[in-house]
Amino acid sequence: MNLVYLALLHDEMLNKNGETVTTSLTLIDLHDIARSARTYGFAQLFIVHSVPAIRALANRLKDHWQVGFGSTYNLNRKEALDYSCIVEGLDDVIAQVFEQTGKSIKLIATSARGGENRISFPEARELLANDDKNAYIVLFGTGWGMTPALLERCDYILEPIYGYSEYNHLSVRSACAIILDRLRIVNR
């Protein structure tokens, strides 16, 4: 099975006014996305934030569940968080994945918005399963999603999840769980 990585981004995001911002870290995202990543066999979850105090907070939470009281209280949570890593920027993610795999890196963006050049879930699933020449990182946004410049930097943009109503406001951790399922399990 090819190694596939995940990154949750907070810089170069849009706010509701369409401005470029750095969003705050939602701590439950770290727990829940780490569990989804582990469940669906993704290699590592990178939590990416440019603000040192936020990275320190995320590391403190990780430490609580990995070496503190939580490490013996909830082993499942510890195991999931073992697969997470907190870094400053997307370039750090790319550098670490390159160091681990030695492969050229392909970025797959996710977005709630449709548009041109979207790759379908079956196409993405094929790539992740069969392309062993490249290493893939699936990117998740926060706030009102990634800036157009960040999306342009990606090699692929995944088609959105369409729900069963016109309401299109999934939280990133819910969207992530659905996307990971579709990227791994055939016929979704």
Find the binder of ligand SAM among 87, 112, 119, 129 (CB under 6 A): 112
Residue range at the interface with ligand SAM (CB under 6 A); choices 39-47, 57-65, 84-92, 140-148: 140-148
Cβ-contact 33, 173 below 8 angstroms: yes
Residues counted in the chain:
188
Residue range at the interface with ligand SAM (CB under 6 A); choices 35-43, 50-58, 62-70, 139-147: 139-147
Find the binder of ligand SAM among 55, 144, 153, 181 (CB under 6 A): 144
Q: How far is the CB of 106 from ligand SAM (least distance, A)?
A: 17
- Give the dihedral of Cα atoms 182, 100, 142, 91; nearest 10 deg: -140
Q: How far is the CB of 135 from ligand SAM (least distance, A)?
A: 20
Residue range at the interface with ligand SAM (CB under 6 A); choices 35-43, 91-99, 135-143, 180-188: 135-143
User: Which of 167, 144, 150, 170 is closest to 16 using CA atoms?
Assistant: 144
Q: How far is the CB of 14 from ligand SAM (least distance, A)?
A: 7
Pairing state of beta strands 134-140 and 118-119? unpaired
How many residues bind ligand SAM (CB under 6 A)? The answer is 16
**What whole-number distance in Å separates Cα of residue 21 and Cα of residue 4?**
27
Residue type for position 158: L
**Residue 113 engages ligand SAM in binding (rule: CB under 6 A):** yes
User: Could you give the angle at which helices 172-184 and 27-39 cross, rounded to 10 degrees?
Assistant: 10
User: Which of 139, 145, 151, 163 is closest to 15 using CA atoms?
Assistant: 145
**Residue 160 engages ligand SAM in binding (rule: CB under 6 A):** yes
Query: What stretch of H or E contains 140?
Result: strand 134-140
Measured in degrees and rounded to the nearest 5, phi and psi for residue 90 equal: -60, -35
Residue range at the interface with ligand SAM (CB under 6 A); choices 40-48, 73-81, 110-118, 122-130: 110-118
Find the binder of ligand SAM among 107, 145, 150, 180 (CB under 6 A): 145
Q: Residues interacting with ligand SAM, by CB under 6 A?
A: 110-113, 140-142, 144-146, 160-161, 168, 170, 172, 175
